[in-house]
Structure 1
Amino acid sequence: MAANIRFATEADIPVILEFIHALAAYENMEDQVIVTPELLKEWVFQKKKAEVFLVSEDEKPVGFALFFHNFSTWLGRAGIYLEDLFVLPEYRGKGYGKLLLKRLARLTLQRGCGRLEWACLDWNTPSRKFYDSLGAVRMEEWTTYRLTGDALLSLASNISLK
């Protein structure tokens, strides 16, 4: 196994899209994926709102990690939030997920960030066990909230300043 991790470039957009769709299929959320090559190009590579690591085995991309900076007011410094981590099923168990997380942990420290965070679906027992084995701490006292679509539009349109 000759593993390599590198930052993705615009030329990698097709493989990033494949990984996003494969992850959505794994999570039974394919119907929620609306990303396009143009959106990835704009938001990841032009506006630089996220970054992507690709892990390859013998030059074949087998997984990815998409991440971005967040900020902790308590720590007074930025952190890195891992949005997606995915390794193709046939390449799991070879250490690629761990390599991606190790590289991301190193980047977190190199950039002077205070923490590396991510979320995991409750039903995803294999991933939860994997994260536990790394020493990651489950933040069970926190609940994630999300506004999208009509709820987001409704909240944004009901602004009244006096």
Structure 2
Amino acid sequence: MNTELTFRYAKREDVGLILKFIKDLAEYEKMLDEVIANEDTLLEWLFDKQKSEVIFACINGKEIGFALFFHNFSTFLGRAGLYLEDLYVLPEYRGKGYGKAILKKLAMIAKERQCGRLEWWCLDWNQSSIDFYLSLGAQSMSDWTVYRISGDTLDELAK
């Protein structure tokens, strides 16, 4: 059986599958209770407003993983970068190089688009992912702390 890995960009009709992958990732990260996204919001933001993109990794036409990413911008580099929001591979396909292949595909997209970098966040407790990223040559941005304003606090600040 041919098990060649292929990639494809998500289409509107994939919104249910995208949401499933998001929820699977959230469950793995012990954050499922924080997922409020639904198919309607994903359709609006991914496809109508085109604020993010999704690629699927496929084996024999079956989606076995996904990456959701968007452009950010570096003022120091003077060019866009790619920010990887989510990467997920189904458990039964892990340890076979598919995660690395997804990151390689994202690096190719970044280079094709003349982006200056590819970056993402990783949970501090996820040592297996940290080790994997370091093995690829990724560097931890230990000098930086992520800050977030959301929900009621965002509403208050916007007043």
TM-score norm. by structure 2 comes to 0.97
Cα distance in 2 for residues equivalent to 1:9 and 1:34: 21
**Percent identity over paired residues:** 57
Secondary structure in structure 2 of the residue aligned to 1:40:
helix
Aligned CA-pair RMSD: 0.7
Cα distance in 1 for residues equivalent to 2:55 and 2:88: 11
Which amino acid in the other structure matches residue 129 of structure 1?
D
**Aligned residue in 2 for 1:100:** 102
> Number of paired residues?
157
Instruction: Give matches, 1:9-24, under 5 Å.
Output: 9-24=11-26
**1:128 alignment partner, one of 124, 127, 130:** 130
Secondary structure in structure 1 of the residue aligned to 2:82:
strand
Instruction: Give matches, 1:2-41, under 5 Å.
Output: 2-41=4-43
Report how far residue 2 of structure 1 moved.
2.1
**2:81 alignment partner, one of 79, 82, 91:** 79
Which amino acid in the other structure matches residue 22 of structure 1?
D
Cα distance in 2 for residues equivalent to 1:95 and 1:12: 24
Identify unmatched segments of 5+ residues in structure 2.
none
Which amino acid in the other structure matches residue 58 of structure 2?
S
Identify unmatched segments of 5+ residues in structure 1.
158-162
Report how far residue 126 of structure 1 moved.
0.8
Instruction: Give matches, 1:137-156, under 5 Å.
Output: 137-156=139-158
Cα distance in 2 for residues equivalent to 1:147 and 1:85: 23
**Aligned residue in 1 for 2:66:** 64
Runs (4 or more) in structure 1 with deviation over 3 Å come to none
Secondary structure in structure 2 of the residue aligned to 1:66:
strand
